[in-house]
Amino acid sequence: MTGQDDTDFAARTLRELDRDRYLATLVLPAAHRPAISALLAFNAEVAAIRERVSGPQPGEIRLQWWNDALAGDGHGEVRQNPVAAALLDAIERHGLPAGTLQRLLGARRFDLYDDPMPDLPTFEGYAGETASTLFQLSAMILNHGEPVEPGDAAGHLGVAQAMIGHLRALGHVSSQGRIMLPWSILEANGVRESELFTGRDSEGLHAALGQIAELAGEHLDKARTAIAALPSGLRPAFAAIAVLERQLADWRQKTGSPFAPPPGDPDWRKITRLAWWTWRNR
């Protein structure tokens, strides 16, 4: 059984690696916060693999370690990792499907390589297996381990979150020689890879990013409708929508290079947005 030290470590890991998701856990019911924090900390650890390794092969080894842990093949040493221990406890307590988390690991293999995200359906599939999965399983934890159907809220909010995140991270990701937004949309607007990798602005780039922002807005609208139809006890799992709506609005209003770091609210304002949204959607 996982100790308090493991759950505390998982929460600290989440706070350090994925600040926005950590802040969103603060409005969750206290009884379910440790399990959801462990789930999100696992994702944060996996998402950070590329930044921590020298190349794809060491990254593949780390992903395989997590896959073995989820499959029960990691033996006793797995629980020496506090995040893994907290995650496995959450899986056992709430009946979370390990296979869903293994698919998340499979999707995260894309992060290790420099292949461009080819098109919108592939991006939506990637977002569905990563960001949407986290919303869906968080709602399942709030639902006492029972599946949450049909998953529209998680599906649309996850895609919106991924789109907004990569719009905001364009400069950082492009500087690594990576294209995480749908290349087909960029290419259709005359954008060249060399322009992205050198941080060169263009009308075509603005047009393409504007189209992606419109798609993100459409997913937010659909997510909002789907969340409203959920039982009130499940809605806190989706409180991040309050921060995402503001981030998309700020991105649309900003001027200057799309490669420049976007403006962001301080933590206290994000917490206020999350708390107000949660109160209104009780």
For position 254, what pLDDT does the model report?
A: 86
Measured in degrees and rounded to the nearest 5, phi and psi for residue 148 equal -110, 120
Q: Tens digits of per-residue pLDDT, 249-278?
A: 999 998 889 999 888 899 999 999 999 999
For position 149, what pLDDT does the model report?
A: 80
Pairwise CA distance, residues 26 & 189, whole Å: 41
For position 1, what pLDDT does the model report?
A: 43
Contact assessment for residue 247 and residue 20, using Cβ atoms and an 8 Å cutoff: no
Contact assessment for residue 61 and residue 113, using Cβ atoms and an 8 Å cutoff: no
Pairwise CA distance, residues 163 & 165, whole Å: 5
Prediction pTM value: 0.96
Q: What is the mean pLDDT of the chain?
A: 95
Pairwise CA distance, residues 109 & 115, whole Å: 11
74, pLDDT greater than 90: no
CA-to-CA dists, residue 88 to 58, 64, 242, angstroms: 23, 16, 30
Handedness of CA 266, 271, 277, 280 (dihedral sign): negative
